[in-house]
Chain A
Amino acid sequence: MENVKKTALFGAHEKAGGKVIDFAGWALPVQYEGIIPEHEAVRNAAGLFDVSHMGEVDVKGPQAFDFVQNLVTNDVSVMQDNQVLYALMCYPDGGVVDDLLVYKFDNNHFYLVINASNVDKDYQWMVDNKGSYNVELSNISSQVSEVALQGPKAQEILQKLTDTNLDDIKFFFCKRDVKVAGVSCLISRTGYTGEDGFEIYASNNEIETVWNKIMEAGKDLGLKACGLGCRDTLRFEATLPLYGNEISKDITPLEAGLGIFVKLNKENFIGRDALVKQKEAGLKRKTVGFEMIDKAIPRHGYEVSAEGKVIGIVTTGYMSPTLKKNIGLALIDAAYTELGTKLDIIVRNKPMKAEVISKKFLTKNYKK
């Protein structure tokens, strides 16, 4: 694997026997012990992920708030200091540039966390839309490492390593300069698994200490090092979207069922006019959950048909490790989206029966 970037934890992954793959130009472990045991560890105990490939952009200046409010679909005006918000950046036509976490330190300082595969594109998009806003943008992705500690035991494990009372960091809030095993970290009670947990940011040269100390602290509590394989199955079961699957430049947040993160009553944001129009006209495509009736596993990219014609595409599908069911998300013609509607998923050129079900595949286990 040449020409791939290595995170500061690459050595730790190799030592721990991670099966390293090229993900969006990064050498990262897809699994250590196996996707299923790692997935189960996060649902039942805890898992630790290297997510240093994620991008971070610092936004500072007297108009930082105005800039971010115009950039993203969600309403940044309701945020308290040290709150975190899920949002999307859209193109003027309503297609998605990327989804992101917005960290608000104060009105003059925001921190945007974006997808690895989109870092260059996103940063350029921000620079292009800086206009006359009095802000300073810095892409600090290469200086920041990040790990995610996720699962019902996450707090118990992390609390062993810090004097900060983690109960004080509420769901989707953050705290800066928390000492974790002596290392200064930004931590937030956020994640991408549907479980309670923390995302922990530190400098490249100190992240390995954080990783090793957390692994040690969680040893007797069922903590496992986790790869990107179960990161995807976990986020899928929790119906959390993935850029390139549920959302893309060709799929709007409304079509993806993410309308609650799009505040059309906001004065303005990039893409607003197109999304208002789309909503008024009624959605032609919608994202649904489905469960296979025939024995087959649905996969990203498989065609969906009904009454003999193609009506859409599977955005993500898996044998759900938690539910032990073959389920998926699909973006399909709105006429076929009622619960109970029968669909065909085209698996290896054969139509296999499926049925529309609620997208709430499982109850999220957040600590709010």
Chain B
Amino acid sequence: MNVSKDLLYTESHEWVKVEGDKAYVGLSDFAQHALGDIVFVELPEVDAELSAGDSFAAVESVKAASDVYIPVSGTVVEINEAVVDDPSLLNQDAYENWMICVTLNDKSELDGLMNAEAYETHCNNQ
């Protein structure tokens, strides 16, 4: 399992990368591995308003569909169409291939997230 050092993580296996007032959100390597071959990705529309805890996307393996949750509130400013066109990109490199980029409405929401070290421990306990 690969845990990227500079990212923040959720218990439900999403990662967040903060860049100024924006945040990129994706799925962790642990999650892509647990899902297996990802064959379908559904992303929200640009301009969608999301609240922390919302399910913002669905990723589907051959076997099952899973929701992906956003840990921060914000407006979708960009989506990564590449992962919709080729969902296996999430299997190939879960950190390079972000899913959406949102404005950060409330930076204090980041306080509840785990750093890489805490997340690694979390995964090892699963």
A321 touches B58 (CB 8 A): no
Among the stretches B5-13, B17-25, B32-40, B109-117, the one at the interface with A is B32-40
A319 touches B63 (CB 8 A): no
A233 touches B58 (CB 8 A): no
B60 at the A interface (CB under 8 A): yes
Q: Which range holds the interface residue count of chain B?
A: 10 to 19
Instruction: Out of B37, B40, B64, name the residue touching A34 (CB < 8 Å).
Output: B37
A299 at the B interface (CB under 8 A): yes
Instruction: Tell me how far the C-beta of B95 lies from the nearest C-beta in chain A, rounded to whole angstroms.
Output: 20
Contact with B along A31-42 (1 / 0, CB 8 A): 100111001000
Q: Which residues of A contact B37 (CB under 8 A)?
A: 34-36
B65 at the A interface (CB under 8 A): yes
Instruction: Out of A35, A233, A297, name the residue touching B65 (CB < 8 Å).
Output: A297
B58 touches A35 (CB 8 A): no
B1 at the A interface (CB under 8 A): no
Among all A-B residue pairs, the 3 with the closest Cβ atoms = A35-B62, A319-B39, A36-B37
Instruction: Tell me how far the C-beta of B31 lies from the nearest C-beta in chain A, rounded to whole angstroms.
Output: 14
Instruction: Tell me how far the C-beta of B82 lies from the nearest C-beta in chain A, rounded to whole angstroms.
Output: 16
Say whether, besides A297-B60, A348-B58, A319 and B40 are in contact (CB < 8 Å). Answer: yes
B58 touches A229 (CB 8 A): no
Q: Which range holds the interface residue count of chain A?
A: 10 to 19
Q: Could you show 17 A-B contacts with beta carbons less than 8 Å apart?
A: A19-B36, A31-B36, A34-B36, A35-B36, A35-B37, A35-B62, A36-B37, A36-B39, A36-B62, A229-B62, A297-B39, A297-B60, A297-B65, A299-B64, A318-B62, A321-B62, A348-B58
Q: Which residue of A lies closest to B91 (CB)?
A: A34
A225 at the B interface (CB under 8 A): no
Contact with B along A272-302 (1 / 0, CB 8 A): 0000000000000000000000011101000
CA distance A19 to B40 in the complex (A): 21
Q: Which residues of B contact A (CB under 8 A)?
A: 36-37, 39-40, 42, 58, 60-65
B63 touches A229 (CB 8 A): yes
A57 at the B interface (CB under 8 A): no
Q: Which residues of A contact B40 (CB under 8 A)?
A: 295-297, 319
A9 at the B interface (CB under 8 A): no
Q: Which residue of A lies closest to B40 (CB)?
A: A297
CA distance A297 to B61 in the complex (A): 10
A354 at the B interface (CB under 8 A): no
Residues of A36-65 whose CB lies within 8 A of B: 36, 39
Instruction: Tell me how far the C-beta of A27 lies from the nearest C-beta in chain B, rounded to whole angstroms.
Output: 17
Q: Which residues of A contact B60 (CB under 8 A)?
A: 297, 319
Q: Which residues of A contact B62 (CB under 8 A)?
A: 35-36, 39, 229, 233, 318-319, 321
CA distance A233 to B36 in the complex (A): 14
Instruction: Tell me how far the C-beta of A351 lies from the nearest C-beta in chain B, rounded to whole angstroms.
Output: 15
A148 at the B interface (CB under 8 A): no
A30 at the B interface (CB under 8 A): yes
CA distance A309 to B62 in the complex (A): 29
CA distance A260 to B62 in the complex (A): 31
CA distance A19 to B33 in the complex (A): 11
Contact with B along A8-27 (1 / 0, CB 8 A): 00000000000100000000
Q: Which residue of A lies closest to B61 (CB)?
A: A35
CA distance A297 to B37 in the complex (A): 14
Instruction: Tell me how far the C-beta of A218 lies from the nearest C-beta in chain B, rounded to whole angstroms.
Output: 23
Q: Which residues of A contact B36 (CB under 8 A)?
A: 19, 31, 34-35, 229
Q: Which residues of B contact A36 (CB under 8 A)?
A: 37, 39, 62
